[in-house]
Amino acid sequence: MRGAQPGIYSAFSGKPVIITCLASNCLSSLFKSPRHHSRLRWPLLSRISVTFSPKLPQKLFDVILFHHVLEHIPREHTITLLREFHRCLKPGGYLNIRVPNASYLLAGHHLFGDFTHVVHFNERSMPQVLEAAGFDTRHLEFIHHPPLLFWSWQHMGRALLRFLNRMRWHLHSVLHKTVCALIELYPIPKCFEWELEVLARK
């Protein structure tokens, strides 16, 4: 984000898909019409092209959020796009990426359930592409999302459900590690949630 005006990189597909920078006021006007939602939901993968705005200066953003878009970008454009993010980040700036996790036990549902997913990532491949784009992999952080756990004596039922959900999360972690050990998949992936989130620092 730049000052108080958040900036975001997003994929917009009308005819070609254009990767561009949109300020918050641009996003609000972009999504006014319902036809824009349908255009964003089904990109035309057979006619994808990626372009960058020549007006964006270097070292412009403190933070770039790129959530569940990278898996829709063709492989030949992935590193080029990430290099552009690296160029536009200020020194010490952050790139936050979320994609489906290919190491998830039931990854097929999330990876192949959407026809527009063309590239898949896990905690081993993501550092590779980020390093190729110029990011220092020593500063990569994979973010986990355990369910919130807090108690409320006024709502014991909700507190119990939160506790059971947290136990489900831990059991999923144990099952994930057990299955990987049984099939001798080493090193055992540490990210077992369906969503892979990484924070890269320039």
Three-point CA angle 130, 117, 185, nearest 5°: 65
- Side-chain half-sphere of 126: how many Cα atoms within 13 Å? 27
pLDDT of residue 7: 37
Residue 164, in any domain of the structure: no
Asked if residue 151 is part of any domain, the answer here is no
Q: Is residue 43 part of a domain?
A: yes
Residue 49 located in a structural domain: yes
Whether 45 is in a domain gets the answer yes
Domain of 90 in residue numbering reads as 7-145+192-201
The predicted model gives 142-152 an average pLDDT of 82
Asked whether 191 and 121 are in contact (CB, 8 A), the reply is: no
Tell me what pLDDT residue 79 has. 94
> Is residue 58 in some structural domain?
yes
Alpha helix segments (H runs only) across 95-193: 107-111, 125-132, 156-182
Q: In CATH, what number is assigned to the domain containing residue 125?
A: 3.40.50.150
Is the pLDDT at 182 greater than 90, yes or no? yes
Asked if residue 33 is part of any domain, the answer here is yes
Q: Which of 103, 118, 107 is nearest to 44 (CA)?
A: 118
How high is the pLDDT of residue 37?
Answer: 40
- How far is it, in rounded angstroms, from Cα 149 to Cα 73? 36
Res 125 pLDDT > 80: yes
35 in any annotated domain: yes
Kindly tell me if the per-residue pLDDT of 8 is higher than 70: no
Q: What's the whole-number average pLDDT of the chain?
A: 76
Q: Which two tokens stand for residue 22?
A: 């949109």
Q: Which of 137, 132, 109 is nearest to 195 (CA)?
A: 109
Assess whether pLDDT exceeds 90 at residue 158: no
The domain tally of the chain equals: 1
